[in-house]
Structure 1
């Protein structure tokens, strides 16, 4: 369970960073840019993914390994 939380946290952080990079540059990559209902809210969604990733890492650290 701990590894699953860490992998999900890593993916959330990567997608959050990709969304922020896409927002401030001309690159269009990452999941946030491809989801239609987030049009106009990409920055907020990217920040939310970064916070979610941090929360998943914190939850993984609080779990016992084994």
Structure 2
């Protein structure tokens, strides 16, 4: 169970960092996959509109917390 949680955490980290880069500039690499949160989820959630940078950074932090929690879990 640790490996899928770590993989999910890494995906969240990559999406958060990529969304931050895409918000500040243009992210040409894997933009459909890595910017899904930035381009699909944020525009549909009203309270995140205007706070895209914070939402993407929060997603990256959530992924980091998930990776750390999965690493510390007992096998």
TM-score, normalized by length of structure 1? 0.81
Q: After the TM superposition, which of the residue ranges 21-30 and 45-54 deviates more from structure 2?
A: 21-30
Corresponding residue number in structure 2 for 1:25: 25
Cα distance in structure 1, aligned partners of 2:39 and 2:49:
8
How far 1:52 moved relative to its partner? 0.4
Q: Which runs of 5+ in 2 are unaligned?
A: none
How far 1:39 moved relative to its partner? 2.2
Corresponding residue number in structure 2 for 1:16: 16
TM-score, normalized by length of structure 2? 0.73
Question: Does 1:59 find its partner at 2:65?
Answer: no
Deviation >4 Å, runs of 4+? none
SS at match of 2:17: helix
Cα distance in structure 2, aligned partners of 1:4 and 1:42:
27
SS at match of 1:23: helix
- CA-atom RMSD, angstroms? 1.7
SS at match of 1:7: helix
Number of residues of Structure 1 aligned to a counterpart in Structure 2: 65
